[in-house]
Chains A and B, each alone.
Chain A
């Protein structure tokens, strides 16, 4: 059971470069999420997709865009990377947005912006 798969696991970028973080889930979940984790800040929601075709901003959306490509895949794009975006990024999914079911997390992408 793969669960939630994130690629890549590690990435180093230069300031101004762009890249897309990929996330796919095989649990037939409706809702998917992108979080960033910074020291002392806990998990902060970047973007959220309640269902295929819908996306919504979270707590820290500036500098990011997302695409819910289909029910399985939810990608996060940094158009022009900045050092402040150095972080560990987690993708998660759940059966539906507001739910008594837990979220399932990927293994994370460790991103460094030089």
Chain B
């Protein structure tokens, strides 16, 4: 069973603060790492899919980096806004690359105005 772990479990920041979360995953048989944003009462929406070691992706104020050799990815939010409040999920494929995406438990971000 592949363990995808995220930290911290929850985070409270003030508007304007920059923040980052961590996703760790087993580095063997790596294929891709997914990041999703999940707002309350909505469905998860894809932020990034990353495949290459050293990859960096950016979408507005949100960016992510990937280290496949050591098995971690960071998600950064620059100048957090209240609308960034959501749960951020990362996911990676199970051993044997069967196509089954395994999700971490998520980091819940609350941005206070």
Contact = CB atoms under 8 A, between A and B. Distances in A.
Interface in B48-107: 49, 51, 89, 91, 93, 97-106
B44 A105 contact: yes
Interface of B: 1, 31-32, 34, 36, 42-46, 49, 51, 89, 91, 93, 97-106
Nearest to B34: A102
Say what secondary structure dominates the interface of chain A.
Answer: loop
B100 A103 contact: no
| A-side interface size class | 20 to 34
Say what secondary structure dominates the interface of chain B.
Answer: loop
A66 to B, nearest CB: 14
Contacts of A1: none
B99 A97 contact: yes
10 contacts: A42-B89, A44-B103, A48-B99, A100-B51, A102-B49, A103-B46, A105-B44, A105-B45, A106-B43, A108-B43
Contact of B42 (A96, A100, A107): A107
Interface of A: 31, 33, 35, 40-45, 48, 50, 56, 58-59, 90, 96-108
A105 B105 CA distance: 17
Contact of A56 (B34, B100, B105): B100
Contacts of B45: 105
Given A42-B104, A48-B100, A103-B34, 7 more contacts: A33-B101, A45-B100, A45-B102, A97-B99, A99-B49, A102-B49, A105-B43
